[in-house]
Structure 1
Amino acid sequence: MTKSNLLRMDNVGIVVESLDDAVAFFTELGLTLEGRGNIEGEWAGRVTGLGDQSVEVAMMVTPDGHSRLELSRFLRPSVVADHRNAPVNALGYLRAMFAVSDIDETLGRLRKHGAQVVDEVVQYENAYRLCYIRGPEGILIGLAEPLGRGGQ
């Protein structure tokens, strides 16, 4: 058996049009803004393959400090595709799932930021209450409320 060199998953990235709206939404969900700044220059373009780029980035962190969400707004080059409203079964589509202690209360707060439940909140056995929601700009995220010992 080969030992992996993997240390952890560092973050998941989402490209947005309005960094302010996305930061406000994910702050309401319970993440904390860890830092915000611009990334630009030839070195960054060598990583992404985009050449001369300028990106405004906000790093959000979960309450436990173990997971991060990187929100990016491209200033240069301009955005070339928009997959935000693609259905969840679209190839390459990404969504992040967040565990919450009270799904109904969380939905009430997020609706004030424009969140809409994709279909409905469902219960999976005695383990979870789950739903997908569309947040700002149609970003798809999942919410899961653990129920009793089965979901923790």
Structure 2
Amino acid sequence: MGLLRMDNVAVVVDDLDAAVGFFAELGMELEGKAELEGDVPDRMVGLTGVRTSIAMMRMPDGHGRLELTTFHSPAAVTAAPAVPPANTLGLHRVMFAVTDIEDTVTRLRTHGAELVGEIVRYGDAYRLCDLRGPSGIIVALAEELG
């Protein structure tokens, strides 16, 4: 079998520092930042004149990463409404397991996060919520009960 692992999920953001701060507050660790431009990124993403800044955020356990990308050129585009509804086609959200959902929501609010709906209980298994973070990213939180 050729598949080894999921390496990362990339998210395009308009304010890289704000996004790094948001995900650091959530508990992710900044692995590194880089500036990318030239022939390799142009050919990989099928655009011309690509110049980006990226930040790689790593989960505390070392498994799983989130690549935050800001496009300096060509400028990022909005293909969907600025605040797309939950039933919009495409990548919807990233979910993280947390130990205290109330505390996490409170801390992320200091970085501009807003609840999409409300914190709900799913049977005896979880407390769940969706937050809208930097650049409209939807981040879901799950606190396991019991």
CA drift at 1:78? 1.1
Q: Which of 93, 114, 126 is the matching residue for 2:124? A: 126
For residues 17-73 of structure 1, the C-alpha deviation after alignment (integer angstroms, 9 at most, x for no partner) is 100000000000000100001011111111100122111000000111101000000
1:144 to 135, 142, 145: 142
**How does the TM-score come out when normalised to structure 1?**
0.91
Unaligned runs of 5+ in 1: none
- How far, CA to CA, are the matches of 1:55 and 1:128 in structure 2? 38
| Residue aligning to 1:33 | 30
**Candidates 69, 73, 78, aligned match of 1:76:** 73
Query: In structure 1, how many angstroms separate the alpha carbons of the residues matched to 2:41 and 2:109?
Result: 36
Q: Secondary structure at 2:104's aligned position in 1?
A: helix
Q: Which moved more, 1:92-101 or 1:6-15?
A: 92-101
Q: Which SS does the other structure have where 2:24 is aligned? A: helix
1:90 maps to: 88
Which one-letter code corresponds to 1:25 in the other structure? F
Q: Structure 2 regions of 5+ residues with no counterpart?
A: none
Distance 1:59 1:35 in 2: 6
Give the TM-score taking structure 2 as reference length. 0.95
User: Could you tell me which residue of structure 1 aligns to residue 41 of structure 2?
Assistant: 44
Q: Does 1:117 align with 2:142?
A: no
Structure 2: which amino acid aligns with 1:16?
Answer: V
After TM superposition, the runs of 4+ consecutive aligned structure 1 residues lying more than 4 A away are none
CA distance in 2, matches of 1:145, 1:31: 17
8 A Cα contact 1:128 1:145, kept in partner: yes
Which stretch of structure 1 is more off in the superposition, 124-133 or 87-96?
Answer: 87-96
Q: Give the aligned CA root-mean-square deviation in angstroms.
A: 1.1
Number of residue pairs aligned between Structure 1 and Structure 2: 145
Q: Percent identity?
A: 53
Q: Which whole-Å CA distance do the structure 1 matches of 2:61 and 2:117 have between them?
A: 29
The answer to which structure, 1 or 2, has the higher relative contact order (CA under 8 A, 6+ apart) is: 2
Check conservation: 1:86, 1:93, Cα contact below 8 A.
Answer: no
